[in-house]
Amino acid sequence: MQCLLLAVSVLLTATSSQAAAPTLSVVNPPSTYGVHIGDVLTRTLVVDSGGDILAKNTLPKKGRKQNGIELVGVAVQSQAQSGHTRYTVQFDYQVFAASATPSVMYLPAEKLTVAATTVDIPAWGFWFSPLVTGGTTTARKNILPEVKTPLIDSHVHQQGLVVSLSITVISLLALLYINADGQWLPFMGGAFARAHRQLKRLAKSAKPKTAAEEKKALVYLHQAFNQHYGANIFARDVDEFVRLRPGFKGLQQEITQFFEASNQSLYDVKSRDSRQVIAQLVQLSKRLRDCERGVS
């Protein structure tokens, strides 16, 4: 326990100028604030009296009440040393104040009598802090809300959820982009995608395929090639086409075969199995569409 030692040198009022003046040291309570009702404050007085004797009957009586402060303990110890005596006096005060607001209170001033000399102990002031500052109205104002229940940190889980959902959406879009026939997303309306849709529609009907339908199917694919090439494209242009559109390089052989087959179908007089030709064109257009979308 920390103690604030205040040493006070008291010039004793001496009635006899010949006797050696007693010296006094006062040790007050450590804090001048935060004192509540019922607290016990202790003052310790150390008196070097020379050869004189402390008149113990002049000490204040235990049980004295003064201004809400009761003296609840008086203890004296003496220690004689070569020619002089040291008295250690301890006063215990208990606070019984009824103030509803913080207020300044004092441990009362005391007097000690050593032989014919009176030693004055000054009063010691402190701040009294009431336990309850007011009535229920005030108390209500002072009520603090209960501490909230601590929540589990869901930030990481939220991030995980967002990432998972994002991956799912991207995967779905990728699957859609790769496999869907319709033009549901940007960049899905390429020339070969359109040709593939037209060819699938043409291939769907159960009717026997005619040479005219076969030619129409070839036209769809030729148009797609022309659109990509920016001009009419013929078998002799396949190398140049692949050079301009490297994405189709993997299908160069199939493209060359397509042009050869197309020439036979469109310009040779010999007839071919139109259903089979159209079915082959559907497959080829799908592969070309994949190249067009960069997913082959």
Partner 1 sequence: MSPPLDIQLTDWRHHALELEKQVNQVIVGQSKAIRLMNIAIFARGHVLLDGGVGVGKTTLLQSIARGIGGAYERIEGTVDLMPNDLIYHTFLGPDGRPQIDEGPLLRAGEDLSVFFFNEINRARPQVHALMLRVMAERHISAFKKEYRMPHMIVFADRNQVEKNETFEIPSAARDRFMMEIPIDIPADRELKKSLVFNTKFQHAEKLTQQVDSSILKFDQLNAFSDRLQNHIQSSDVLEEYTMDLWEATQHPEKFGVTMESVDVSRVIQTGASPRGMGMLMKAARVNAWLNGRDSLYPEDIHAVFHEVISHRLVFNAAYENRRTALARELTSNIIRTVAVPSLSFSKAA
Instruction: Catalog residues that contact partner 1 under the rule CB under 8 A.
Output: 211-212, 215-216, 218-219, 222-223, 226, 231-232, 234-236, 263, 266-269
Closest approach of Cβ 247 to partner 1, in Å? 22
Token output for 283:
């497959």
User: In terms of CB distance, is 41 or 195 closer to partner 1?
Assistant: 195
Burial (CB count <10 Å: 0-12, 13-18, 19+), residue 140:
exposed
Closest approach of Cβ 214 to partner 1, in Å? 10
**Amino acid identity of 275?**
R
User: In terms of CB distance, is 191 or 218 closer to partner 1?
Assistant: 218
Instruction: Name the phi and psi angles at 109, rounded to 5.
Output: -65, 150
Given the DSSP bridges, would you call strands 84-95 and 40-48 parallel, antiparallel or unpaired? antiparallel
User: In terms of CB distance, is 76 or 203 closer to partner 1?
Assistant: 203
Closest approach of Cβ 269 to partner 1, in Å? 5
User: In terms of CB distance, is 186 or 230 closer to partner 1?
Assistant: 230
Token output for 32:
């001048």
Distance between CA atoms of 214 and 272, rounded to whole angstroms?
A: 9
User: In terms of CB distance, is 143 or 212 closer to partner 1?
Assistant: 212
User: In terms of CB distance, is 177 or 234 closer to partner 1?
Assistant: 234
Closest approach of Cβ 284 to partner 1, in Å? 16
Distance between CA atoms of 177 and 193, rounded to whole angstroms?
A: 11
Closest approach of Cβ 272 to partner 1, in Å? 12
Distance between CA atoms of 251 and 283, rounded to whole angstroms?
A: 12
Closest approach of Cβ 166 to partner 1, in Å? 43
Distance between CA atoms of 288 and 221, rounded to whole angstroms?
A: 10
Distance between CA atoms of 224 and 288, rounded to whole angstroms?
A: 10
Residues in the chain: 296
